[in-house]
Structure 1
């Protein structure tokens, strides 16, 4: 057959472009077999993820609950945070102390002992609702804390407004409804609820009219504070201040003298001349003492004479000593 005059040409095969070792990894193998918990398709991997998620949730929830419980602060969107007391010993002690309770949750088919029996008896006598609750729900309520089948639900403390409390007390004193001049204690940086409870107890013992705590970075009225107060928390109002410095300024404008407690004071406690006037004592934490702004807003800084070998006093002890001296001077008037 004619090829129409065309001539076929054979091309000489030359060097070609290589793969560059693209298939080398396939020859190397995949290394050692990963552990079952590291294989995404394995059941052990899912169990590990669930365990880690549960642990993270428990730790986060525990921190949030314990912090709220210690400080008595509000929860999201300003809602008050409820507290729970867990464990047989803690629950029966809280009931003995008369701590306000919303409900006593008892595990289904709980193993009875003397503590459980006493808790049920005290709750019934005080009219506290008894709720039979399953273990999963108790675990959820307590963020998996050890509850031993008993959980006491504590309602949020109802704080008064600091300004309103001072105004009402002043008005009652001027009308003769209150025998002694208004006497308050304000806390600056106190975070231990036992300190708050002891201070409330001292305020009650020496005819004080209330305790003021800041809303932020401060202790609140918790079950621990109730217990330490030995029932005084039911008699002494605790007020909350949105801003402690502004509250102290308002107190001064109302005629209340603000006295700060500090080791380097302007006046020694026995030489205090304002004891018979309306007074608000401000106490700081044992370590940091009064903050700079609070110190500047005080009319006087009062020091308690102590042995030079002792650096400082516990906050509740310092308040108790100061309240005693003020009460002594008022009685001698």
Structure 2
């Protein structure tokens, strides 16, 4: 375990209980030893009340997360603070490259970090991620982002479809990346900014309910035998095309 990983763990019953009472929004997951005693029931009750994700693990797996005296409870905390959705929208509208990425259950921290790095390098506005089944914005994502994760505004939302609806009400068009008969070639589509770009899960793509919120669907034409790219690669290509359009509009 790296030193960075340890810095994102809260160890022991009392420290975790204190965190649940004072800053539950900082908690990504709480790990509890299987068959906890009565002294851990209060933590489980708080997790359920506050809708904090928790997992019960056997002792050896808990020891793998932290090999010291953990008292049967470990909390993993976020490496960055989250903004509100309104703050991300406002930041995007004022940014040099007014594009927001909405990541629909992208689960690989490396992909999250790489997308953050690309968007930040291009001057992008921010990122929206759903609360559940998304990559943990911790040390692995931070390393892949080369520090961009801590600098770019990110909103964590309970319902991504509703968040996209909020963006649409603000007058921001929604583009989705994927396949299908309604998808337009990235290189032929009319791209406008400000915009939101939705990128889907590494295996399943964009969920149907989220896809319904997209005004336009974009696809990258493939000449080889593969029918898709890694989500970070595809995201970089689409962001590059948006940037090209941005410069053409200014010119």
In the alignment, is residue 201 of structure 1 matched against residue 117 of structure 2? yes
TM-score (norm 1): 0.52
Aligned to 2:83: 160
Greater relative contact order: 1 or 2 (C-alpha under 8 angstroms, separation 6 or more)? 2
User: Moved runs in structure 1, 4+ residues, more than 3 A?
Assistant: 75-79, 139-142, 153-156
Deviation string 1:265-321 (CA, Å, 9 cap, x unpaired) is 52111122123x211100112310110001111001100111251121111111000
Contact 1:186–1:283 (CA under 8 A) maintained in structure 2:
yes
- Counting only pairs closer than 5 Å after superposition, residues 218-229 of structure 1 correspond to structure 2 as 218-229=134-145
CA offset at residue 141 of structure 1? 10
Higher strand share: 2
CA distance in 2, matches of 1:286, 1:82: 21
Aligned to 1:269: 186
Aligned to 2:37: none
CA offset at residue 158 of structure 1? 0.5
Gaps of 5+ in 1: 1-64, 66-74, 84-138, 146-152
The root-mean-square deviation of aligned C-alpha atoms, in Å, is 2.6
**1:144 equivalent among 54, 58, 67:** 67
CA distance in 2, matches of 1:179, 1:231: 19
CA distance in 2, matches of 1:232, 1:271: 31
Aligned to 1:93: none
In the alignment, is residue 283 of structure 1 matched against residue 199 of structure 2? yes
In the alignment, is residue 242 of structure 1 matched against residue 158 of structure 2? yes
CA distance in 2, matches of 1:302, 1:201: 22
**2:105 equivalent among 177, 180, 189:** 189
Q: How many residues align?
A: 190
**1:329 equivalent among 222, 241, 245:** 245
Aligned to 1:81: 27
Contact 2:100–2:125 (CA under 8 A) maintained in structure 1:
yes
TM-score (norm 2): 0.68
CA distance in 1, matches of 2:25, 2:155: 17
CA distance in 2, matches of 1:244, 1:166: 14
CA distance in 2, matches of 1:80, 1:233: 15
In the alignment, is residue 298 of structure 1 matched against residue 221 of structure 2? no
Gaps of 5+ in 2: 1-8, 10-18, 30-61, 69-75
**1:317 equivalent among 233, 238, 248:** 233
Secondary structure of the 1:191 match is coil
